[in-house]
Amino acid sequence: MPPPPPPPPPSGGYVPPPPGGYAPAAAGYAAPRTDGLAIAALILGIMSLVCTVACLGVLLGPAAAIMGFISRQRISSSGGTVGGGTLATVGLVLGIIGFIASVGWFFLFFASAISSSINPTPSP
């Protein structure tokens, strides 16, 4: 006759650790720190899109693009010790888009102002 099964664990949900203690933790590497210029490029790129209507994208867009470009160069030359390449690229692209959108909004605003002054709406 086979031996009876072991008794169930005690109530309360606590299961004692296996005998022998815990395995020692392996020494890990720290994650690369994010470049601050990449974060600034991303923030300025987002702000250049948000402030397109006020035509601030003309100032913020190039600043974000330049910061993103410089940050990408710093990250690639760091040898993996500095991260944030994606942030820098997104900031660069958003800065370019914000600049183009702001210039387009500027010309659209003045074109509509000129056309409304040339062809005024007749009043009844």
Q: How confident is the model at residue 124 (pLDDT cuts 50, 70, 90)?
A: low
- pLDDT, tens only, 18-37: 666 566 666 667 788 999 99
Whose structure tokens read 């210029």? Answer: 37
8 Å CB contact between 72 and 88: yes
DSSP label of 54: T
Q: Which two tokens stand for residue 71?
A: 């940050």
- pLDDT, tens only, 62-105: 999 999 999 999 999 998 899 999 999 999 999 999 999 999 99
